[in-house]
Amino acid sequence: MITLYAAGPAYGLPEGSPYVTKTEIHLKMAGLWYQKVPAHPETSPKGQLPWIDDDGVKVADSTFIRAYIERSYGVDLDAGLSKAQRGQAWAIERMVENHLGWASCHFRFFDDDNFAKGAARWFDGLPGEARADAIDGLLGAVQSNLKAVGIGRHSPDEIVELGAWSLTALSEMLGDKSFMMGHRPTSVDAIVFAMLAQILTPFFDSPLRRRAESLPNLVGYAERMMAGYYPEFAPEMSRAA
């Protein structure tokens, strides 16, 4: 059996990490049995979640996990898509992970209220001074990452606009389709949904969330994906509508 090492449920969502959600949905799409185990990023071969152990074969990073699943189990999560559609799906995935995700990260970590009830709680078990040092270290690391990818060099209003452009692009590409590439979910839907769920969860508030809520087809899409893959969490998602 495949073991999926994950962050675990958080913020009214089945997973605190959108990348774990991506991998879990890929496993579900492939029809593979797996067990999900909470873990810390330090346990991973690449120092990040998710990672899997498949009978001793360890694979880290959601994109390489997908490649491993398809190669090892003879499945094609994009079956039926043309070469052009596969290229479009890859471009969408890169936009969501390497642009929209960083915009969402800014409001998760650098909005005081969101941080206080979110990532700051990771260190609740530490004594006062150690907890303060751990929080400072985390914020410093996230800020460095945001600056390195460029998002962190902009003002909050500019970050909202950048994120909103990506949300609008997703909305336009989705149109009136049920899923990003047509009438059935394919690999790209795993990460598009995972990131939208992180933005739309009622647990956090942000101007980026309000921009997402203004795009009804994206909200409906997120609800559809949640109902299909995590029905027990569907009521939470509907509160964001």
Q: What is the pLDDT of residues 134-188, one digit of tens each?
A: 999 999 999 999 999 999 999 999 999 999 999 999 999 999 999 999 999 999 9
Task: For the chain, give the number of residues.
Answer: 241
- Helical (H) or strand (E) element with 96: none
Predicted pLDDT of residue 236 = 64
Residues near 44 by Cβ (< 8 Å), separated by ≥ 6? 5, 50, 51, 60
Q: Which phi and psi angles does 5 have, rounded to 5°?
A: -90, 125
CB 209 within 8 A of CB 240: yes
Quote the pLDDT of residue 237: 61
- Which 8-state DSSP code applies to residue 99? I
pLDDT score for 239:
59
Q: Which long-range contacts (CB under 8 A, 24 or more apart) does 153-161 make?
A: 156/106, 156/107, 156/110, 156/207, 159/103, 159/106, 159/107, 159/208, 160/103, 160/207, 160/208, 160/211
- Tally of CB atoms within 10 A around 80: 11
Structure confidence at residue 234 (pLDDT): 78
What's residue 128's pLDDT?
A: 87
- Residue numbers of the chain with a pLDDT score lower than 50: 240-241
